[in-house]
Amino acid sequence: MASTSDDAVLDRADVLCRARGVKLTAQRRRVLAILCASPRPLGAYEILDAMREGTRTLAPPTVYRALDFLLEQGLVHKLESLHAFVGCSHPEHPHSSQFLICKTCGAVAEIEDEAIARSLGSAASMSGFQPQRRVVEVIGTCAGCAQKGR
């Protein structure tokens, strides 16, 4: 069951999609709801399993199409190192994201640091590299797990 904050995220996604002239279908909304309700990033098959609970059999393309849409709209991010997805904490504007991923508990924190984005852009430009996507993933230990480990 979605929490009040999850409902707010889903309502905000509805508003953003309408403003952009695209439709957040029931399937797309369900995928986003599953990601919002999860305390950790989820892979496509984990999302599929959650969608299958109490419903008819679904095929993997259903989830992949929904994820493609949500990625296009900036409502979710793909964590390449985990082959998993998380909801975006600020989908109102395009941005370069950085993620802090706890290897102990699996928690993920999204940050948006323009200095990091500029530095990466500058380094890429100086080497003649043309980035298509800028995602920075930092693997380590979150403050909660570090404190428990002491």
Q: Is residue 54 part of a domain?
A: yes
> Is residue 52 very low, low, confident or very high in pLDDT (cuts 50, 70, 90)?
confident
CB-based contacts of 89, cutoff 8 Å, min separation 6: 110
Backbone phi, then psi, for 126, in 5-degree steps? -65, -30
**CA gap 75, 67 in Å, rounded:** 9
Q: What pLDDT score was predicted for residue 88? A: 87
Q: Is residue 9 part of a domain?
A: yes
CB-based contacts of 73, cutoff 8 Å, min separation 6: 13, 16, 17, 20, 22, 91
Q: Is residue 137 part of a domain?
A: yes
Q: What pLDDT score was predicted for residue 4? A: 52
- Regarding whether 74 and 111 lie in a shared domain, the answer is no
Q: Is residue 117 part of a domain?
A: yes
Q: What does the block give as tokens for 11?
A: 């309502």
- Regarding whether 108 and 136 lie in a shared domain, the answer is yes
Q: Is 119 helix (H, G, I), strand (E, B) or coil?
A: helix
- Regarding whether 10 and 66 lie in a shared domain, the answer is yes
pLDDT (tens digit per residue) in 1-47:
344 567 888 999 999 999 999 999 999 999 999 999 998 999 999 99
pTM, rounded to two decimals = 0.84
Q: Is 136 helix (H, G, I), strand (E, B) or coil?
A: strand
Contact (Cβ atoms closer than 8 angstroms) between residue 108 and residue 100: yes
- Regarding whether 101 and 83 lie in a shared domain, the answer is no
**CA gap 126, 84 in Å, rounded:** 31
pLDDT (tens digit per residue) in 95-108:
788 999 999 999 99
Q: Which residues share a beta bridge with 136?
A: 98
Q: Mean pLDDT score of the chain, rounded to an integer?
A: 89
Long-range contacts of 86-95 (CB under 8 A, 24+ apart): 86/35, 86/41, 86/42, 86/110, 87/9, 87/32, 87/35, 87/36, 91/12, 91/13, 91/16, 92/16
Q: Is residue 92 part of a domain?
A: no
Q: Is residue 103 part of a domain?
A: yes
**The domain containing residue 142 runs over which residues?**
97-148
Cα separations (Å) of 62 from 19, 33, 52, 82, 137?
24, 15, 11, 21, 27
Q: What pLDDT score was predicted for residue 94? A: 76
CATH number of domain containing 139: 3.30.1490.190
Q: Name the domain count of the chain.
A: 2
- Regarding whether 42 and 18 lie in a shared domain, the answer is yes
Examine the pLDDT at 55 and tell me if it is beyond 80: no
Q: What is the mean pLDDT of residues 57-74?
A: 92
